Amino acid sequence: MNKYILTLFFACAATVSTFAQANISPAKPQTKRTVIFGATVHVGNGQVIENGYIIFDKGKITGVGDATVVKLNLTDAEVITANGKHVYPGIIAPINNLGLTEFESVKATLDFTEIGNMNPHIRSIVAYNTDSKVPATLRSNGILMAQITPQGGTISGSSSVVQLDAWNWEDAALKIDDAQHMSWPTTPRFRGGFGGGRPGFSADAIAERTQKAIADLEEIFSQAQAYAEGEKPATSNARLAAMQNLFNGKQKLFITANSQKDIIAAFNFAKKYKITPVIVGGDEAYLITDFLKDNNISVVVKQPHALPNNVDDDVNMPYKNASILANAGVNVVVSIDGYWQQRNLPFMAGTVAAWGLGKEKALQTITLNTAKVLGIDKTTGSIEMGKDATLFISAGDALDMKTNKVEQAFIQGRSVSLDNLHKQLDKKFSDKYGIK
């Protein structure tokens, strides 16, 4: 009985939250040329324009440069004076279940995983909920795009990239089915002796199970490759058909692997099928920087705010991993687990900046580098001519939680709402207690 009462409580809470944000509608298309001038423009490719201007029209950037050497035509334009402020490209949150999860305690709101171990046919985009209250919170910290990713099993399915201000998933989609996601089978560390190992399993038995998992991957990839290269069959196979674009380069393969041994094994596995994978996690990637650079492997570093996995690791290694990789010439992306937690992504990059990378390179790990890995860098990821006007204005440093204050945000030129449930509750109770 208590279980049903708890479920009803959270269901009611979800309804209340939905009504609380019913007035936050997606922004209308841009109708007037917009000019931002006077701000420090962080282009996203490492360049900084101290007193810059940005012009965008019909959702596209039509001008970027130094405001001190150009006479701007402000006729019939919406002018935003941003002296002393900062403009950044929209932050991109990779590999998360945003819009697939609403309340972790209510099973009916969890739609990020499926039964089974090999699920390449699962597509996250069709389950993405644009009415979720979470994206509005993310926009308030400059996160304007996300890679919505399924989880669970060895092959989880395909992700899609969305912008975070839309009526439905069709409107939100920036790139559909951009990548397949899989986890490399890992042999758990076996510690023999008193209190060691796993009850009922020897080291050989555990290793055998891992090899069986790898063999299963070999089988499905071999079948999928043959399926993609052969004539169209009379009867379609949904699982194999979903993997076809891996072999023609239209879809990327993200492989979660952390130890240096597993990273190399995962790469060699993908190489057999002429696929260059993106490594996710990469806790020990800093040990094989030459290998990663020589093979043009991008690494998505997860959760810089964490403890090291190994007892003999430098306690600060999770902070330094990204900078070691980037300074060695590896394309690095910073990510964070979860969905609510995505609002802290810029501050993860701030930590990376403080531990050896520098602010502008750290910014790239959540903007242009991410766009390159997701295959959307021709249209977004930096503030450059011809790209989408997806950017935001902050009164302070966007990578510093103490000074970041996003005042305006634009997605494809549309001025999006920065209201959210947190702000509504803050105002409600500040009014109640007379707090200003």
Q: Indicate the SS3 state at residue 46.
A: coil
Q: What percent of the chain is predicted at pLDDT more than 90?
A: 72
| φ, ψ for residue 144, nearest 5 deg | -115, -10
Looking at the structure, tell me whether residues 116 and 132 fall in a common domain: yes
Give the number of domains in the chain. Answer: 2
Residue 16 has a pLDDT of 46
The answer to whether residue 238 sits within a structural domain is no
Token pair listed for 206: 């555990």
Residue 310 has a pLDDT of 81
The answer to whether residue 6 sits within a structural domain is no
Domain boundary among 333, 354, 380: 380
Looking at the structure, tell me whether residues 160 and 49 fall in a common domain: no
Looking at the structure, tell me whether residues 404 and 335 fall in a common domain: no
Looking at the structure, tell me whether residues 266 and 370 fall in a common domain: yes
Token pair listed for 18: 């939905």
Domain boundary among 364, 380, 396: 380
The answer to whether residue 85 sits within a structural domain is yes
Residue 120 has a pLDDT of 96
Give the strand pairing for 414-415 and 406-411: antiparallel
The answer to whether residue 194 sits within a structural domain is no
- Of 77, 231, 96, 220, the C-alpha closest to 160 is 96
**H or E segment to which residue 383 belongs:** none
Looking at the structure, tell me whether residues 80 and 101 fall in a common domain: no
Residue 201 has a pLDDT of 63
Residue 385 CB neighbours (<10 A): 12
Q: Specify the CATH number for the domain of residue 416.
A: 2.30.40.10
Residue 38 has a pLDDT of 94
E strand segments, 243-367 = 252-257, 278-281, 299-302, 332-335
Looking at the structure, tell me whether residues 256 and 405 fall in a common domain: no
Looking at the structure, tell me whether residues 327 and 393 fall in a common domain: no
| Domain boundaries, position 296 | 91-184+246-380
Looking at the structure, tell me whether residues 344 and 257 fall in a common domain: yes
Measured between alpha carbons, how far is 349 from 358 in angstroms, rounded to an integer?
10
DSSP state of 417: -
Residue 103 has a pLDDT of 73
Burial (CB count <10 Å: 0-12, 13-18, 19+), residue 132? buried
Looking at the structure, tell me whether residues 138 and 32 fall in a common domain: no
The answer to whether residue 12 sits within a structural domain is no
- List the chain residues with pLDDT less than 70: 1-23, 104-109, 187-201
- Of 21, 15, 276, 279, the C-alpha closest to 135 is 21
The answer to whether residue 13 sits within a structural domain is no
Q: Indicate the SS3 state at residue 349.
A: helix
The answer to whether residue 241 sits within a structural domain is no
- Collect all residues with Cβ–Cβ distance below 8 Å to 108 and sequence separation of at least 6: 7, 11
- The amino acid sitting at 8 is L
Measured between alpha carbons, how far is 350 from 366 in angstroms, rounded to an integer?
10
Looking at the structure, tell me whether residues 274 and 322 fall in a common domain: yes
Looking at the structure, tell me whether residues 69 and 109 fall in a common domain: no
The answer to whether residue 140 sits within a structural domain is yes
- Of 14, 192, 1, the C-alpha closest to 106 is 14
Residue 234 has a pLDDT of 81
Measured between alpha carbons, how far is 314 from 41 in angstroms, rounded to an integer?
36
Q: Specify the CATH number for the domain of residue 256.
A: 3.20.20.140
Looking at the structure, tell me whether residues 254 and 319 fall in a common domain: yes
Residue 105 has a pLDDT of 65
- The amino acid sitting at 4 is Y
E strand segments, 143-215 = 143-148, 155-163, 173-183
Whether residue 111 contacts residue 100, with contact meaning beta carbons closer than 8 Å, is answered with: yes
